[in-house]
Structure formats: structure tokens, C-alpha cells
Amino acid sequence: MLNTALFAVSCLTLLERSQVSAAVTVYNSDSTATAAYDATQVTGLPNFDNTVLTPPTPPSPAVTQIAWSVPSTEDGLTSQGYELGVKQRGNFLGFSVELSVADQITGHSVGKNPVNLKVPFLNYLANIRNRAGMGPLVRVGGNSQEASTLYTDGFAGNAIIQKVKVDGCLQTVTPTINYSPDIFYMMSNISSTVDAHWFFGLSFNQSAVETMSTNVPLVAQTAQQMLGYHLLGLQLSNEPDLYTDHNKRAAGWTVDNFTTEYAEVRTEILNDATLENKQFLIGPSVCCDKVGFELDDVFATGWLDQEKDNLAYVAVQHYPEDNCGVNGNYLNAQDIYSEWLNHTSATNLTVPYFNGTRAAIAAGKEMIMFETNTASCGGFAGLSDSFAASLWMADYALQMAYRNFTAALIHVGGQSVFYNPFTPPPSNMTDTWKWTTGSIYYSTLAVAETLGPSNNSQVVDLSPQNDNIYAPMYAIYENGAPVRLALFNYVSDSSGASDYTATISLGGADLPSGNISVRYMRAPSVAEKYNITWANQTMGAAYTSDGRLYREQETVSIQCDTTAKTCSIPVYAPSMALVFLTTGAMQEAVSSEQATATFATTYVNVGSATVDPAALSTGNGQMGSSATGATSEGSAQTSGTAGILAVPSIMAVLLVASTTFALRAFN
């Protein structure tokens, strides 16, 4: 959804390369240009914006009591007209990292082969792994995957990514991105430490594949060989409904042309690549409610039947609003703030996919929301980076889980967007405690704990019981019985007057014996950016995060009324409350030790860090004792450790060109 991509690049770091024609300028991100840390420069960046919006006025009179009847069996649920969604994994909510900034977020090469991973990024992923019982989902791709090419010999200076721009330095263009095989080594190294599962984006262009001017078959083969089972699929076509608008295809290129071209590219890949897994593609990834080019329209061409033997997943992408300023018309975030502050958004956003999701499931495919966030083209200052986004994303994710999506990926852009779940520091700042955790990151923790590590949780939205758009409620069932509840209070009122008490009953059935437990996602206001807690733990203000949670984990214990067979749960305005109904659900939840079992950042340098071998083995030790147990840390440790140890003397060249490259709004 890129209408106004602004690729502002300093011309300091130009490097001509023989692989590209003379008219093309290449910017390598392994620039040795230095930029001193300058706080004034930093405050100017959108990602560190100080805009604070005014929360909507609390509804009057305030609702202070809400009763919920949660059927104790699936039959009870069905008899009330509710149905459970499909079975979910705890890593439902993952990340979509724009290819063009992957080296800034995930890590980059140092020297010929070893890869320098960003420890904070590993921590952000480990937090999810510890809660979901399996590694997080990460997609590398986006608009910048189109026309990208794998350079098998790599690049000068061992850069992972190379940005190519055809115009003069200060033009507004979408760069072409090329990458070296090291990007897959890096992903593989990340998987060995935090069990990350990957999606990678292929360039989609039939004539380029046929004329061999891109090497997509080789990319598919290389990615599979290097990532093995940690590669979940390769996306082919990213927002094709916008191709003609973005001049990526000629006017008149329709959904039928799409389906024809898809088959041609897929055939070329199968002919030219040796693939271990032939159910490897992901599409169609339409995004934007284009009349005649929606998911149902793509399916109506026969695309799903045509492709299903080679599909891994079906995907769509969608943002509820945009900050693209089409024709200069920018929305005012304050005016639209309430769109993210009630349950209507979550329910409404899933409706267009009901038919397609049923068709995908009938074809044996899972449905993924491949890229989303609060708003495209960078999101909105004060909105995308506020606690409103945390509540909205958690609500929307659980709604998608209820409506049979099985994953959703939060988009991560460059320095100049408002919506990032995490952002590295903007210059060669001297230690790793300088990342910024975005409000939306907290949703990933809340959702991972809500769905839990069983791979067996099913979600139902019970909100229609009360029909209060500010107080939705989901129940999570396992093996036909309710185990957890997620209750929201979208009202922002620090006076306490809009807090409500949720009175829970199991439809007359006995409550589980003993107390029930509650964890909260909280902030003093929906407009809050940094004082956000999950179970009392936080990642702090801008430039203060190493990706770990700090403070003591809090699990509130609440005594239920065994005579009345009800439990009363306070739900603060604003907050999300996660209620563990059973001792079993509490036992499988992340413990306080596991909650922070991440990587110590003892060796630090230039806004990134190598993994200290001691820290790594400690980390693995903690992980070994965690609920996850599923990863092969023992076997991976040796090679993983060797692979990610960077040579300190090489660290001096690790100045990522993040101050030189200001990437604006790849979605």
C-alpha cells in the first residue's frame, strides 16, 4: 500500500556495482560512514514522536457491572448459537519485517560468513516463544520484495541487503532490493536460538522469470535448503490488487491476468528449482478492497483450485486506515482515534474474509493475515504508538482467531513509521539498551498467553451477550471446556469511575475449585505510549529497551463465590484482563522465570550486539527448562554459538546506515 514512498538517501555512501547498469546507483547498508549520536536528530524521527492524542470522553453513565455466562461445554455454547473457531497455536501473532529494513532489525553480516544478530530482536522473539511454547512467526518481505534478486556471490563488505535506486539521490522512489545468501544464514541462526519460523517474499513478475532477469527459482531452492522446516512458505505476489495503481502492471491487468501469471511463475519455479517441499507458495495477498480484485474475486477465477497442490497457505493483507495522504488528503488522527477504541473495528474487519476462509479451509489450507497494523503508510502519530493500538491489536487478533485465521503478522517498517512493535536506535548509539518498544508489541505477549502453548485452543467471541462495544469478551476453550477468558475495557478513565466488574458464571456449572488467576495489560490512558505493562512487567520508554521485560511479574489471585457460582473480575479503564479459569491453564502459563528468559546483552556495540557465548548458554539453559521444550537447543547450540559470534574488531564496520537511509512508509 505504498503511494507516497519517500526514499530519502544521503549520497555519501554510493557504490557502483558491476552487476547493475551504469544508470543505477547502489547504496550499501554496510557503509563505513559514521554519524555521531545526536539527540535532536533523534527527536525528529517519526518513530520517536511525542504526539499525545486526547482519549474519547468516557461514555456516560459509566457501565460498572457486566455479567457473563460462559457455557461450560461446547454443546452449551452451540445451543446458545455460538461456535468455536478452529484450533490455534500460541504464536498466532507474529511479525512482518519489510525486506528493505531486515538488516536493521534482525542482524547483518560481519566478515565473510558469521552473522551478527541483534540481541534485542532475539529477546522480542524469545518472549513470544516462552509464552507460545513454540517459536514466533516472522515474515521478511513487503513491497520491497518485488524485483528483488538473490546475489549468490554476495556484496562488497558482506552486506546482506543492497538497495538499488534508478533515479538521482533525492528522488522519491521505491528502491529495488537485492540480497545475499547471508540473509538466509542469518534467519537460520535466529531459528537456532529462538525457533523462529519464517515466511519469505519472492518477486512476482512472469517476464522477469522467463527471461531469467530475476532468479526466483534459485531463491526458492536456496531458502528451502538453508531454512528447512523453519521455512513455512514463500510469498508470491504482494498486494497484486494495487499493481496497476503502482505501475507494476499495465492498466487492464485484471484478476484473470493475475491467475494466469501466477500459474506461469509457479511452473517456472517448479521447472527450474529442486524443491524438497512443493507445497511452498503463499498468495494471493490482496489487501485493499479493490472492487473486482478482492479475495472472493481471485477465488472466482479458479486460482485456489489451480494452485492448491503447491500452496502452503492462503494469505490476505489489510490495514483498517491509511496515512498515505492520497491526493494530499491526510486524515487527522485525533478525529479518527475512536475507530481503534471499540470492538466494531475487530468484528467488521474479518467479515470480508468469511467466504474465502471457508474455501481455503475446505482446500486444506490455513488462512493468514500476512501484514497488518493500525494504518498503512506508517500509521499515525499518537495513535499507532499508543495503548489504544495494544488493545485494538489484541482484540482484532482474537477476532481473527475466532473467524478461523491461524496467524496474523504485525508489520515492522523503518525508522520513519509510527507503528513499529520495536525499533532499533537511530545511530551508532553505544549500547543495546536503546531500542524502543512500541505499544503494539504488548499485544503479542497478551495474545500468546491468551491462546497458550497447547496448540489446541479455540476462540469464541461472546461479546453479543452484552453488546457493549467498549467491553468485548472472548472465551478460549480447550477440549470442549473453557480455560481462559480475555476481557477488554476500551474506556480511558483514570478516575476509576469507568472500571467495571465482570461477574463470570459457567452457566450454572460449578466453578473450578480454588482461586482463579488474572493477568492484566494496563496503562493509565489509551493515549499512553510507554507506561504499558503486561502482568506488571514493562519494557520502558523510548531508547531504553533491550527487548526484555522488567519488574516483577504479577498474577492476581481472585477468590470466587462458590455458593453463587460466580467470580468477580475487576476490569480497569483501560485494560485487557486475561482470566485463567483452571489450575491447568495457570500451570501451562509462562512462569515468572520463563517470562524473562532471554538473552543478556553483555557484549554491546553500535546499536547492535553480538551474543556473548556465556549469555547464550545461559539463555539456552533457561530455555531448556522452560515450557517450550520443543526446540532442539541442545543440538543447535554448538553451531549456533559458533555462527553468531562476531569478531569484535570487525564491529567497527557495523554502522548500519540507519541515519543515512530514512525509509518512509513501506506500508
Ligand X SMILES: *[C@@H]1O[C@H](CO)[C@@H](O)[C@H](O)[C@H]1NC(C)=O
Query: Residue numbers of the site for ligand X (CB under 6 A)?
Result: 34, 36, 83, 85-86, 89, 113-115, 133-134, 147, 182, 185, 188-189, 192, 205, 207-208, 211, 213, 248, 250, 252-253, 257, 296, 338-339, 342, 344-345, 348, 351-352, 354-355, 357-358, 403-404, 428, 430, 453-455, 469, 515, 522-524, 531, 533, 536, 551-552, 554, 557-559, 606, 630, 636, 639-640, 643
Exposure b/e, 276-310, CB count within 10 A at least 16 = b: eeeebbbbbbbbbebeebbbebbbebebbeebbeb
- Identify which of 272, 282, 288, 203 has the alpha carbon closest to the alpha carbon of residue 239: 288
Q: Is 252 helix (H, G, I), strand (E, B) or coil?
A: coil
Which residue lies nearer to ligand X by CB, 342 or 420? 342
Quote the Cα angle for 150-154-157, to 5°: 140
| Nearest-approach distance from CB 293 to ligand X, in angstroms | 13
Structure letter (DSSP) for residue 192: H
Which residue lies nearer to ligand X by CB, 123 or 596? 596
Which residue lies nearer to ligand X by CB, 41 or 348? 348
Which residue lies nearer to ligand X by CB, 225 or 618? 225
| Nearest-approach distance from CB 416 to ligand X, in angstroms | 21
| Nearest-approach distance from CB 643 to ligand X, in angstroms | 3
| Nearest-approach distance from CB 79 to ligand X, in angstroms | 14
* Residue in this structure with the C-alpha cell 488462512, named with its chain if needed: 367
Which residue lies nearer to ligand X by CB, 169 or 226? 226
Which residue lies nearer to ligand X by CB, 220 or 627? 627
Which residue lies nearer to ligand X by CB, 188 or 328? 188
Which residue lies nearer to ligand X by CB, 72 or 301? 301
| Nearest-approach distance from CB 125 to ligand X, in angstroms | 15
| Nearest-approach distance from CB 175 to ligand X, in angstroms | 13
Give the number of other Cβ atoms within 10 Å of residue 447's Cβ.
30
| Nearest-approach distance from CB 446 to ligand X, in angstroms | 14
Give the number of other Cβ atoms within 10 Å of residue 510's Cβ.
10
Angle between helices 119-132 and 182-194 (to 10 degrees): 50
Distance CA 314, CA 281 (A): 9
| Nearest-approach distance from CB 250 to ligand X, in angstroms | 4
| Nearest-approach distance from CB 6 to ligand X, in angstroms | 20
Which residue lies nearer to ligand X by CB, 328 or 538? 538
Which residue lies nearer to ligand X by CB, 328 or 485? 485
| Nearest-approach distance from CB 605 to ligand X, in angstroms | 6
- Are the C-beta atoms of 174 and 113 separated by less than 8 Å? no
C-alpha distances (whole Å) from 96 to each of 174, 210, 212 are: 18, 29, 28
Q: Is 578 helix (H, G, I), strand (E, B) or coil?
A: strand
| Nearest-approach distance from CB 410 to ligand X, in angstroms | 18
The torsion angle over the Cα atoms of residues 383, 386, 388 and 389, rounded to 10 degrees, is 80
Residues with Cβ within 8 Å of 221's Cβ and at least 6 positions away in sequence, in order, are: 273, 274, 275
DSSP readout, 451-492?
Answer: H-SSS-EEEEE-GGGT--TT--EEEEEETTEEEEEEEEE---
HSE-CB for 41 with a 13 A CA cutoff: 14
Which residue lies nearer to ligand X by CB, 245 or 554? 554
Give the number of other Cβ atoms within 10 Å of residue 524's Cβ.
13
Give the number of other Cβ atoms within 10 Å of residue 3's Cβ.
15
Distance CA 122, CA 194 (A): 7
Task: Give the largest Cα separation in the chain, rounded.
Answer: 81
- Which residue is nearest to ligand X, using beta carbons? 643
